[in-house]
Chain A
Amino acid sequence: MHDTVVFKNKILPYFLLAPQLIITLVFFIWPAGQALYQSFLIEDAFGFSREFVWFENFVYLFQDPEYWNSMKVTFLFSAMVAVTAMGVALLLAAMADRVLKGAGTYKTLLIWPYAVAPVVAAVLWWLMFNPSIGILPYWMKFVGHYWNHYVNAGEAMTVVVIASAWKQISYNFIFFLAGMQAIPKSLIEAAAIDGASPFKRFWQIVFPLLSPTAFFLLVVNVVYAFFETFGVIHATTLGGPDNATRTLVYKVYEDGFVGLDLGSSAAQSVILMILVIALTVIQFRYVERKVQY
């Protein structure tokens, strides 16, 4: 750190920090505190009565099979989004890594979905998979499958996973490609001279060296699937059919804004905060150290 060279002014830094700190306090820390406080209260929807109930909201939540279902849905959803987005991105990055002609064009054509909003991605795929007029169900009929994500839970999940993973491929691709290009060429050349096939070189040299990147991306993708896919669900399945795609964030919104169950919504917020904190700690503790070699 710059321990020797600093400006002496004692007041100025507070002014410089003020805008950031005020916004942080008013719109981040205060509401988070409120969520924590409300999670210990039972309040009717109009705020006429409130009662301090300790952990009752949490106890109730953990006894609610719907909550566990939502938890299960979220973990399943996140795992599938991460695996799909990372798998496709890794494959494409492995292909693009050694390409000389047209590398720039390929890259441009692969990174633009990053700019598409999750909700927009969802609407695009919702049309593609539309059971009555969508092109994909139309093709599926030729092999005898009648697609209907309005009633079939697995199919609804497939659509939201594909829509969420689709726009995330770009991000993963950029990182995998950067990771691969950072691997010293001499390593690959040495293996080639020793007679390792391109396939073997990928699995035994490139892939292990990419594992820090992959771990970092795993955390990022899980965070994305957990917290940034509200729009995907809200624009398409609305958590259905039969709550099969109701993720935790969607449930907080539904219970808080639609159901007006303030205590339960606050308790769910607190649990989500603990999850984010855990994920952030993982990201900073384990990822940062391992990425550098």
Chain B
Amino acid sequence: MIENRPWLTAFRHLMLIFGIAVIGFPIWIALVAATHPSSAFFSGVMPLWFGEQGLNNFERVWNNDDRVLGVTVSASWMMWNSFIMAMVIAIGKITISLLSAYAIVYFRFPFRRTCFWMIFLTLMLPVEVRILPTYEVVARLGMLNSYAGLTIPLIASATATFLFRQFFLSIPSSLVEAARIDGAGPFKFFKDILLPLSVNNIAALFVILFIYGWNQYLWPLLITTDEDYYTIVMVIKRLMTAGEGNVPWNIIMTTTVLAMLPPVIVVILMQKFFVKGLIEQEK
């Protein structure tokens, strides 16, 4: 500490607590809303303290009792879809980026630069700017309403490739030389040296990419019409617009809490990796 100013320290704590309270307030509201019957939202002002319907709401949403979600599949099924999507995207992106970075850093071959620039190009073509043609490609390949369609088109990753490339370049070349003198071929070197060294980076990327995959919205919205492939994030919006009269806020908020839980847990549990990963990724 540079100097001791108790009033300033107290002020800092107060501001932080205030900031956290304001930022956390919507979550409080969501948790509270998830514990009330839908009649609590018909008129007057929404409740600010917990009701007694929490478990009941959760069960109805989880099992989709009485088609409370307005679709034929349950929230548990849609969470499973989201989970598959998040895992395949995260693991897929990490795998193909590790392989491409390995090829670019440790091999010399014709068109190496071209390959690098092609990967770089994906950074400039987010799905949002080429919505319709990408949809057409996926449709023509017969990948609408499938897990492959939900995941494969999102798996290319320039940022992950760059991160691994940066990391590989920082590994001292004496290590590579030593491995080669010991007779390690390209596969052995990758498996026994690069992979173990990359564990921290992989974990950090996993957090970011799991969240990215779980939170996808536009893409599943475009390519799924079959409710069996709906994700939990998608269904919330449908609930908002489905009931013309009284919006079922208790059901919406129960679903919202379910949709937020997995990625928030991942961030909190893997906070160290996540923060490090974010900052490294942008270097």
Contact = CB atoms under 8 A, between A and B. Distances in A.
Interface of A: 1-2, 4-7, 9-10, 12-14, 16-17, 19-21, 23-32, 34-35, 38, 88, 91-92, 95-96, 98-102, 106-121, 123-128, 130, 132-135, 138, 166, 169, 171, 174-175, 178, 185, 188-189, 192, 198, 216, 220, 227-228, 230-231, 234-236, 249, 252-253, 256-257, 262, 265-266, 269, 272-273, 276-277, 280, 291
Contacts, number: 301
Interface string B128-145: 111111101110010000
A27 B112 CA distance: 21
B209 interface: no
Contact of A5 (B96, B173, B278): B173
Contact of B100 (A20, A101, A109): A20
Contact of A7 (B16, B44, B186, B237): B186
Interface residues of B, number: 104
Nearest to B15: A95
A128 B29 contact: yes
B interface, over-half SS: helix
Contact of B109 (A14, A21, A192): A14
A interface, over-half SS: helix
A24 B118 contact: yes
B70 interface: no
Nearest to A102: B13
B115 interface: yes
A108 B268 contact: yes
B71 interface: no
A235 B26 contact: no
B256 A123 contact: yes
14 contacts: A6-B108, A9-B107, A12-B186, A21-B100, A21-B118, A34-B137, A108-B271, A110-B19, A110-B20, A112-B268, A174-B278, A227-B126, A234-B218, A280-B124
Contact of B16 (A2, A28, A99, A113): A99
Contact of B106 (A6, A174, A235): A6
Given A256-B131, A257-B132, A273-B125, A106 B20 contact: yes
